[in-house]
Structures are given as C-alpha cells and as structure tokens.
Amino acid sequence: MALVVGATCHSSLTERSETVTSPPWIRHAGDSYGSPPRPRRCRQRQRLLKNYQPKFFTADDFAALDALTAILIPTDDTPGAREARCAHFIDFLLQASETVDANMARQWRAAMQALRDAGFHAADAAGRETIVAAMARPERERGATHPAYFAYRLIKQQNTFAFYTSRQGLIECLDYRGNSFNVTFPPCDHPEHRTL
C-alpha cells in the first residue's frame, strides 16, 4: 500500500505528486484502522476474550478492576470501559512489565489491597458506586481524605488511557477520523466568548 501525497512547489508553482511508502505498521493494519470493525475479526476477538484468564491479577481482583473501570467510564449511548476491555488492557500491560518495573507491580498490588480493605470486592453494584464516590471525594473537596484514594487515582489514570486509546474510545466516542486538518476554522458561537 502506498500513500500519494500531492504537493505544490512554491518556486515554480507547478503541482507534483510523489509516492511515499507507508510504514510497516500501517501496511500491517491494512484498511481496518478507522473503518468499521469486520464481523469475522470481532467474533474472533470476542471468542478470545470470552474465557480470558488474567495474567497479573487474581480472578477476584480482575473482576473488581473490571467493575471499577465500568463505574468510571460507564456504558450509555456510547461504549464504555467494559466494551473497550480496559481491565484486560491493564492486566496485559502489568503482566508484560512486571519483570521490568517491580515498583509498578507493587503499586497495583497495594491498590487492589486498598480496594479490598475499603470493601469494594464484597460490595454489590450500588455499594461499589458508593465506595467509588467516597474514594473520589478528595479529588473534589479540599481537605477530604480516603485511604484508597491513591488506588482510585491509579486506576482512573490507566483506565482513561486504556479507553481513549481503544477503538471504542478514540473512534466510536471521540469520532477521531485520522490526522486531518480544517480548511477553515469556524468561529466560536458562545456569546460570552465574543468580548475581549
């Protein structure tokens, strides 16, 4: 696959076109990036992830992480963290880097213990949302504390990264269409921004 790039030579004002070979990662991706997922490929992914066994987390910790990521980025009229498989990504990332960065592994194990100590693992869905709201209070209220706040921040950070780098977050939610440019920039239509 080759990209055709049109360019204008300013010195002679003639147009020319040159062929630029795509990097290997684009050739490997084929036409799947930015296009709707192919049904066969989706079925293969679903089959592979249906019986997913976590590599870094215990089964209980992975289930709690999956529930927490879904609370942070819920499914509404757009996909959420569960559809983007954020917990799967975090588990993969951690198992792949466990031998490289032992400190990161310790942080995550401490975070999961803090969630367990806060009662998140044993709580029902409504109880989990209440626990997450309590863990998030220091983010909104000055002087508020929670012993699992560091766990909340760590999971929120990785969950956000996992979601917005996934197809569901980047393309389906943000409607990213690739590296493009605006020919014109529409003016802001907010009345409060029209005064200097």
Is the pLDDT assigned to residue 39 strictly greater than 60?
no
**Would 135 be classed as within a structural domain?**
yes
**Would 85 be classed as within a structural domain?**
yes
Is the pLDDT assigned to residue 79 strictly greater than 60?
yes
Q: Which residues contact 77 (CB under 8 A, 6 or more apart)?
A: none
The pLDDT score that the predictor gives to residue 43 is 64
Is the pLDDT assigned to residue 17 strictly greater than 60?
no
User: Count of domains in the chain?
Assistant: 1
Q: Where are the alpha helices (DSSP H) in 2-101?
A: 24-29, 39-50, 59-72, 81-84, 86-97
For residue 93, the enclosing domain spans 45-177
**Would 158 be classed as within a structural domain?**
yes
DSSP lists the bridge partners of residue 18 as 5
Burial letters 175-187, b for 16+ CB under 10 A, else e:
eeeeeeeeeeeee
State the DSSP H helix or E strand holding residue 15, giving kind and residue range, or none if neither: strand 14-21
Global confidence as pTM = 0.69
Q: What is the pLDDT of residues 122-175, one digit of tens each?
A: 999 999 999 999 999 999 999 999 999 999 999 999 999 999 999 898 888 888
Is the pLDDT assigned to residue 50 strictly greater than 60?
yes
When pLDDT is cut at 50, 70 and 90, the band that residue 22 belongs to is very low
Whose tokens are 């249906």? That residue is 50
